[in-house]
Structure 1
Amino acid sequence: MSKMCQIRRIQSDLKYLQENPLQYCTGGPVGDNLFKWLIIIDGPQHSPYEGGKYKLAIDLLYYPLKAPIVVFQTQIFHPNVGNDGYICLEMVQENWSPIIKIQQVLMEIYSMLNDPNPERFLNAEATRLFMESKEEFIQTVRQHVRLYASK
């Protein structure tokens, strides 16, 4: 895929996102760089992440032929997010397809916040608490929201 085709695809995804905004996230390219995005995603209502605002850095260097690289810049306690902010999500790994739009990736991340998948974990402690003590898991998540995501 030529660089020009790649740019047109990213511009198309950006336009689609602007015309069909997701209520729970904002953002887009950083300055004039179409290949680097910053997105703020809200923690889902009625979840332990409610009230949190999470910064996501998205690298589109090889998009759409390869999945975007999405990293939480805001510290988060979640089974599917490593301490380095990288996520474990089927859509952006083995199930990636070039027809998937950036908006769909954001929707999947939002869904992941609401419904962790302990079988695909990156954070062993979050997974252990999620599986063994939901109450302690929820308390720890809420503490992280207060400390890192409510600014």
Structure 2
Amino acid sequence: MTLEASLAAVHLLAVLTLVVFLSSQAALCRAEWMSAAIVRRLARLDLIYGLAALALLITGLARLYWGTKGVSWYVSQPLFHLKMTLFLLTALLSIKPSITFRRWLRALDAGQALPDAEAVRGTRRWIMVQAHVVPVIAVIAVFWARGM
């Protein structure tokens, strides 16, 4: 029972960390606020966001294999597959902003200009799509936890 509670707690902590750092990216990635400091901060936030996503995946797999319900129960649940699909979609959506932040950072370090407004707006759109998919995953988890 302690292992199950511990895995659930760490999984929840990973979810909350992911949400905080994704929200921070969404808040900062604005053309009107863009500066060298913001580009550096976005790159750091993205790194932490990626680590939180990795922690979320690892703790989810730990719950799958070491949790009390076991693998067979999880894989027999349609909402489990929907959650995993949306998690994968979110991971794929995060690739473009991550690459973009690294490119902006390299450009700054090379003495080049800040990204133009259109590039910032485009990157923010990708972040916002992720930010709208993540709560859907949480809602699915609520319904799933109640046996639906």
Query: Normalised by the size of structure 1, how large is the TM-score?
Result: 0.30
Greater C-alpha radius of gyration: 2
Higher helix share: 2
Higher strand share: 1
